[in-house]
Chain A
């Protein structure tokens, strides 16, 4: 029997301090969107430092001036032109902590490397995790608070389910979850504590080395067994590539889903008519999730580096310039969206760049969609009359600059 199905609800979640994952480098930014809209209205592309509320980055005089892209069409143009705009910009900090991954590769290497891991993330392949895995993880978490009639859905649900889902998809034994979640927090918050993040990266390497040896000896129905066996056109993944990919899954696959599911609940709880509609028609969870990835993408900015002198929206871009793509600003481009600042799951356009675009588009988007849909579907099956229940005098909002999500979601409800 596969390991992931064992002992679904027995492990205590790691005590949660939401500030551990806050974007302290970027400061305490509540809402960067008005400033982004202002700068976008001036020009969809800016050259030189921009200040979005956390202070402008110091510019380095020996480097070409950085470029910031606010417009939707301009972000799409950059992401589609992966020859002019290279992903090797991620070789630095990210590459050092995670190891060499598809995130930092250009074509044609990227396509070959991605093809090795992509089959495991197809929507049809992921269906097998829905009922037995995701739903049981979420049910186990809901069991802990459902009788109270109140909860903080960040602390009690959204922070915990994505890491448990990934741990089970990797086939890790339940007894390893607490330390796996600890490593996930440490590697994800490497920007605020470098040494701790690098240590977690090394610990994860040792940990995965043991798990991979076990799976080679006795393969199971899990992602690590799949990765050690995969072969496309005679190409296989090296052990080092697998460690790096698995490490990348923590920030890329855990933190993003934690943030997006929290922001989706925030969007629904603060728009009770839309919450009501989704509770009554669960099919609407599909457009609702897509809308939150537009309205509040968990990662609001990604980077590229110009490989040659070029021009974007008439603005000169120098070879070697870092190009910051403000996905959050692009997703609210008033030239493309009506009432762009409103969460509206019924809007007609589904197009957004919240998962990125081009050949590097989020590999895990189908997993994120499925996990969040099943998590909320399960929640709505277990509780009725779900409503926002803020403490008097407290202000709740989606928070952050580069990474955004609510810090708390106090709710009241009736157990079904």
Chain B
């Protein structure tokens, strides 16, 4: 069952600032290569996800609402 949000990360663009982890720690982390990994797309609330996406300094994160019909 998909959660309410679809989270897309561009690991090529990611430069490992860790800002996403700072704002939404249960959703995002940095992997061993220093780039973003999504832990649990449904763990943080919409506000946290929005702040994390806006705060990504290279714009590597997009958060969209899942289409309930899809």
- A contact residues vs B (CB 8 Å cutoff): 79-80, 111, 114-115, 118-119, 122-124, 349-351, 355-359, 361, 365-366, 369
Contacts and interface: CB of A to CB of B under 8 A. Distances in A.
Interface string B31-70: 0001000000000000000010011011100000000000
Given A350-B51, A358-B57, A118 B21 contact: no
B57 A357 contact: yes
A351 B47 CA distance: 12
Contacts of B59: 80
B54 to A, nearest CB: 5
A298 B58 CA distance: 22
Interface in B1-51: 15-19, 21-23, 30, 34, 51
A350 B15 contact: no
Contacts of B23: 350
Nearest to A125: B18
Interface of B: 15-19, 21-23, 30, 34, 51, 54-55, 57-59
Contact of B18 (A79, A80, A351, A366): A366
Chain A interface, >50% SS class: helix
Given A351-B54, A357-B57, A361-B17, 8 more contacts: A115-B16, A350-B23, A350-B55, A351-B51, A355-B57, A356-B57, A361-B15, A365-B17
A358 B58 contact: yes
A118 B17 CA distance: 8
A-B complex: 6 closest residue pairs judged by Cβ atoms:
A361-B57, A351-B54, A350-B51, A357-B57, A359-B15, A361-B17
17 contacts: A80-B58, A111-B15, A115-B16, A115-B34, A119-B34, A123-B22, A350-B51, A350-B54, A350-B55, A351-B51, A357-B57, A358-B57, A359-B15, A359-B58, A361-B17, A361-B57, A366-B22
A123 B18 contact: yes
A79 B54 CA distance: 14
Contacts of A351: 51, 54-55
A358 B57 CA distance: 5
A315 to B, nearest CB: 23
A369 B22 contact: yes
B49 to A, nearest CB: 12
B44 to A, nearest CB: 14
Contacts of B21: 123-124
Nearest to A355: B57
A34 B62 CA distance: 35
B16 A118 contact: yes
A79 B17 CA distance: 14
Contacts of A79: 57
A359 B57 contact: yes
A124 B30 CA distance: 10
Given A115-B34, A350-B23, A350-B51, A122 B58 contact: no
Contacts of A349: 54
Contacts of B16: 115, 118
B57 A122 contact: no
B24 to A, nearest CB: 11
